[in-house]
Amino acid sequence: MFLRWRSFRRGAVSQCACTPEWPGLRSELDGHEMRGVPSPGGSSFLVLQLGLEATCAGCGAHYPHGWALADRD
């Protein structure tokens, strides 16, 4: 009954405000900025193992879906 509603927390931003949505993903690893790419199949092993979180490169919203670190240039 009320249990479902409790998951809607105010301030937990997971909605991108950009157009188009999620123009890019970024994360931080050991103080270095890393680029991320959406991964529809789920987050990569490295992301899960390190507990990394991705945010939108445009608006900074927390990316709620699976993602992986992009290859370095």
What are the backbone angles phi and psi of residue 31, rounded to the nearest 5°?
A: 85, -5
Q: Which residues of 14-40 are buried (b: 16+ CB within 10 A; e: fewer)?
A: eebeeeeebeebbbeeeeeeeebeebe
Binding-residue pattern over the window 14 to 53 for Zn ion, x denoting contact by CB under 5 A: --x-x-----------------------------------
13 near Zn ion, rule: CB under 5 A: no
**Contact window for Zn ion (CB under 5 A) among 3-11, 29-37, 47-55, 58-66:** 58-66
Q: Which amino acid is at 48?
A: L
Contact positions toward Zn ion, by CB under 5 A?
16, 18, 56, 58-59
